[in-house]
Amino acid sequence: FVFGPVWTLLYSLMGVSVSRIVKSATASSMVLKLWYFHYALNLIWAPIFFGYQKFRLGFVISMLLVVSLGSIMPLYHAIDPIAAYLQVPYLCWLIFATVLNYQFCKLNPMDESDGKNEAMRQAELCKDGKAVYNDVMLQNDLRGLQKDAARYAGL
């Protein structure tokens, strides 16, 4: 429920910020090209992370977003300080999202044997809205949980 209002605000601030830079007589094409690169990264992050569940690639993109925005902000500040300050909430959100993305990577390690993480396996269980998770799979998962619980209890 938080994402909709937050992204509405962030995109509004980004739009105002970029429009101030575009309207400035001192804006160079390099600054705008850097912004377009950054914005393209912004647009591809969600399909990579949520659609393809490529959490590590999403993390790399998220890091690139933070670095590129960190490069853009001083350039904006030299042209229009307000335009740079309008990017601060977005930078804070990107840092927060990058930390969350990192935690997803930690909690869903990639299995090198098949190149999938646990989230991808779970998604495959419910392809086309049809649950294919069966009783045998449940029993295997329960056995795994019992083994984990015994290990944690020192048994």
- List pLDDT tens digits, range 58-96: 999 999 999 999 999 999 999 999 999 999 999 999 999
Q: What percent of the chain has pLDDT over 90?
A: 53
Which residue would you say has higher pLDDT here, 6 or 109? 6
For residue 152, what pLDDT band results from cuts at 50, 70 and 90? confident
Phi, psi of 114 (to 5 degrees): -125, 0
Q: By mean pLDDT, which of 10-19, 48-57, 109-118 is the weakest? A: 109-118
Phi, psi of 111 (to 5 degrees): -85, 115
The confidence score (pLDDT) of residue 133 equals 62
pTM score over 0.95 = no
**Long-range own/partner contacts, residues 60-67 (CB < 8 A, 24 or more apart):** 62/94, 62/97, 62/98, 62/101, 63/98, 65/38, 65/41, 65/94, 65/98, 66/91, 66/94, 66/95, 66/98
Contacts of 95 (CB under 8 A, 6+ apart): 66
For residue 111, what pLDDT band results from cuts at 50, 70 and 90? confident
Q: By mean pLDDT, which of 22-31, 69-78, 133-142 is the weakest? A: 133-142
The confidence score (pLDDT) of residue 146 equals 87
